[in-house]
Every structure is written in structure tokens, then in C-alpha cells.
Amino acid sequence: MKLAKYQEGLNALCFVDLLSLKNLSLCAKLNKSKNYNISCLEDKNLKASFYKCEIASVSFVLALLCKMSLESEFNELDEGYLSAESCFGEEEALEILEFLKEAKCIIFDENLYQHKDFENIKYFLERLCHKFDLLLICSNENEENLQIQNSFGELLELDNFDGTIIMQAPLGDKNLHCSSSFALIAKVKEGDKITLKINNQEFTTMIKIDHELKGTVALFDYEGTDFAFSKAQVKVIK
């Protein structure tokens, strides 16, 4: 399937995480259309109606949308299970499917290339695009050919993202930007110097409380090729 480049004015269903930090030009172009975004994080700078889901649950959200719009092909899937695991309601799914009748494209986050169930994600995206005659666009706007499997496989279980979670983000500084909720869980406060362990990397950084951030995901600018959301260990340097 050939990915397209976004054209200003096209109504879009988005699966993007803080697009305004990653691709400001695409975010600006979306200002002239009607858009919906499904993510674990609300982007106040993206013009879109926001629908919240669990971290890294896009595979289940897409499976739910496919089950509810393409019943015969996906009849083995259980709506209640998909909805409960992703924390994305069936009523919300119906609203999204109604919106797809007037949408022109689906935009997915480039980070999903690193999602462990990307093969199924690609398949679900292709089926929805075919059903509603939509263009498929990656948030980096690369126009490449996306290889799609012939059928969907067994869905991989969602990972547990309880605790202190970091999202890799291009912030332009080396502070750990977090919400008050994250600070409470991590037992840190504004200005604390900390060590931060993410996967196999360790960093020394400072806590910056961002009152615009909600939930328990903090943002940190670091080099990495893994999925952008990771569990982290936080320790205050005395």
C-alpha cells in the first residue's frame, strides 16, 4: 500500500502522540480541517477532537473499529474485551466510524513502526482505508510502499504501563518534563537532580514540572530506536 503525503484541508482520523513536538508543519496544516485524534496523551496544540486510550493500545483500538465496521471478516474478535483492554469505549468507536464517512485520510504516528504488533496495525489500517476510501499517511509524511500481510494474526497482548513511564520526545532541552501526578508517583519535586534509567540507558537530568501535562507519562529527549514509551526508574541524587 502506497503511503500518501497530507494535503491541507483533508479531514483526518489521527493516531498520533504529541504531533506538535514531532512535526510542527503537519500539525499546522491540520488546522484547516476537521480532525479526530486517538492517543494516550492530549496535544493541546493539535486541532482535533481528542479520544483517550491506554498507552500502546492502538492495535486493540483499530481491531475494535474493524470489528464494528467489518463484522464478517473480524467476527472472532470480542468488542467488550478490546474496549476494556484499550480503555476505548464502544460508543466512542461508533462516533469515530461515523466520522470516517466524512474523513479523507488516516494519519498514524511514525513511532508505531516500533510497536511490537505493527504487522496487525498495518493490516487494520489498510482495511479501514479500503472500507471508507481513505488515504493512509505516516506522521513523517514519507511516501513509501507499506507491505501489508494477507490477513490479521493473533493480537499480541498489551504491555503493562503502570508506574513511571517516559515518552521519548524532541524537547530541545535535557530536563525531564513531567506532570504533578508523575512527580507524586516518582517522589520527586521541581528542580530535583535525578538519575533516570530507561531500558539499558542511564541519564542524569533535572525535574521540570509542566502543569500542562496530564496523567503519568513524562517527556524526555534522548536518543533511542525502541518504541517511544518505556518504563523508567527514577532516583533523586542527594
Ordered per-residue pLDDT tens for the chain, 238 residues = 999 999 999 999 999 999 999 999 999 999 999 999 999 999 999 999 999 999 999 999 999 999 999 988 999 999 999 999 999 999 999 999 999 999 999 999 999 999 999 999 999 999 999 999 999 999 999 999 999 999 888 999 999 998 899 999 999 899 999 999 999 999 999 999 999 999 989 999 999 999 888 888 999 999 888 999 999 999 999 8
Report how far residue 209's alpha carbon sits from residue 192's, in angstroms, rounded to the nearest whole number.
10
In this structure, what CATH number is given to the domain that contains residue 170?
2.40.40.20
According to DSSP, the residues that pair with 13 across neighbouring strands are 36, 106
Residues 108 and 183 in one domain: no
DSSP string, 126-143: HHHHHHHT-EEEETT---
Q: Does residue 25 sit in the same domain as residue 131? A: yes
* 72: in domain: yes
Helix (H), strand (E) at residue 161? none
Shared domain for 132 and 184, answered yes or no, is: no
C-alpha cell at 159: 504491555
Residues paired with 167 in a beta bridge: 219, 229
Asked whether residue 6 is assigned to any structural domain, the reply reads: no
If you ran DSSP here, which 8-state letter would residue 158 be given? Answer: P
For position 153, what pLDDT does the model report? 87
Note the pLDDT of residue 214.
Answer: 80
- Torsion over CA: 44, 45, 49, 51 (sign): negative
E runs forming strands in the chain: 12-15, 35-39, 49-52, 105-108, 135-138, 165-168, 176-178, 193-198, 201-209, 217-220, 229-236
Range of the domain at 215: 165-236
Q: Are 16 and 107 in contact (CB under 8 A)?
A: yes
What is the CB-side half-sphere exposure of residue 101 using CA atoms within 13 A? 5
Taking every pair of Cα atoms in the chain, the longest distance, rounded to a whole number of angstroms, is: 60
146 located within any domain: no
Which cell numbers hold the place of 66? 474493524
